Amino acid sequence: MSKEGSLEAPTRHPIPWTDPAFLDPDKIDAELRRVFDICHGCRRCFNLCDSFPRLFDLIDDSTSGELDTVPSSEFSKVVDACTFCDMCFMTKCPYVPPHEFDLDFPHLMLRYRAAEHAQSGVGGKVGFNQKQLAKTDRNGKLAGKMAGLANWATAEDNFGMRNMLGDLAGIHPEAALPKYHGRTLMDRRGEVPALNPKAPAHGRKAVIYATCFANYNEPAMGVAARAVLAHNGVETQVVYPSCCGMPLWEQGDLAQVAENARKVAGEMAAWIDQGNAVIALVPSCALMLKFEWPLLLPDDEDVRRLSENTYDITEYMVSLARDAGLAPGLAPLPGGVTLHLACHARAQNMGAKGAEMLRLIPDTEVAVVERCSGHGGAWGIMQENFEVALKVGKPAARQALKADSAWVVSECPLAATHLRQGMERLTEDEVPRTVPHPIILLAQAYGLPQEDSNPS
């Protein structure tokens, strides 16, 4: 007998991306109609991303008021608004597997985009500019060689260059863009902080997966993580074989994501053999390593082992505190902290580890914002999406302002910047200082030397 909803934990199926049926347009359309009709009858996700309002408007404005009179050509509007935050799957939808309706909205959007990507060489929607933006390693290496010029050209107040960038690449002129550093985190990997031999966790080892963002755009995250871990007796190395492929995932380029997965997992295997935990600095990357890669390559042993040994940095620190205890020396952060729980941290199904970590700091009030920032990776910076991204993130920005903390921080550095822009639109007063990741605040609470987040 069919159940209205499921109380069981959501599960996901392996992604059959090499099966020709996966890209069959008729089969995709049939599945879209099956899923969209279920969503239409439920509508619990109306206040998440813009995909669902778009879908419901299409249906409500159709001739019959039902899905049968919505042309399939309109479905792309729904797909285009999905940011793969996974919140519908993780927190809202009562029909996810193992429910018999077997509804996985984000992975259906992924399938649609994979079909688009397969057609991109013959007039498909994934254009040249979008593909270039997803080449994070190449872009980081090139921009890092001329970081000053790159950061000047992409600054929000450089109206001429930003308008030109909008014309060339479709990026909204007001969207804050990540800065680049001349010295990447990998360039600094030889700068090893001294281990604290008296720390309760002394003797543990970990490799830090730099991620493209921490490597090229925000090395301060990695420097802070290494300093905190060394203070707690954990020996670290910094490793970065390549990007996790999340920007390519968003475009449906699953073959290239799989190639990246094999490369990274293959290199990490030796470190895991030596007893190292693998720590990812950005939640989107941790999500890829822990959950998405094993669904893409379910028979790859290196991918499986990497998944089982990967931790988000906040998850690792909370585990360290619970299992061994943290080194003493944490001092309060005056004024308190408002933490935005990043969607891809929540999608890891590990609990609110960022908040748990910050609450280890004594006498520091920690407020939590659980609404989506609206950024959605590269999605939120595009001309057609930026205002929608701010709209989706407005409740989160409003909550962050209302908390009136000295600091606003997100586990996702892109979300932190986007929240700052959202807060600035809501008030004429000075907004709280935003920080790209809570590990930086933990280092500050320890009084450890700080790496300047500003590029040099």
Cβ atoms within 10 Å of 316's Cβ, excluding its own: 25
Helix/strand/coil percentages in the chain, nearest 5: 50, 5, 40
The three-state (H, E, C) secondary structure of 393-436, written as one string? HHHHHHHHHHHCCCEEEECCHHHHHHHHHHHHHHCCCCCCEEEC
DSSP for residue 9: P
Chain centroid offset of residue 337 CA = 21
| pLDDT value at residue 452 | 63
Cα–Cα distance, 253 to 257 (Å, whole number): 7
Phi, psi of 340 (to 5 degrees): -90, 120
Report phi then psi at 359, rounded to 5: -75, -5
Please enumerate in sequence order all residues whose Cβ is within 8 A of that of 124, keeping only pairs 6 or more positions apart, or say none: 116, 117, 118
pLDDT of residue 426: 95
pLDDT given for residue 123 in this prediction: 42
Tens-binned pLDDT, residue by residue, of the chain (456 aa): 445 555 667 899 999 999 999 999 999 999 999 999 999 999 999 888 889 999 999 999 999 999 999 999 999 999 999 989 898 998 889 999 999 999 999 999 999 999 999 886 544 556 677 777 878 889 888 888 999 999 999 999 999 999 988 888 889 999 999 999 999 999 999 999 999 999 999 999 999 999 999 999 999 999 999 999 999 999 999 999 999 999 999 999 999 999 999 999 999 999 999 999 999 999 999 999 999 999 999 999 999 999 999 999 999 999 999 999 999 999 999 999 999 999 999 899 899 999 999 999 999 999 999 988 988 888 889 999 999 999 999 999 999 999 999 999 999 999 999 999 999 999 999 999 999 999 999 999 999 987 765 544
Q: Using alpha carbons, select from 351, 338, 265, 337 the residue that is nearest to residue 302.
A: 265
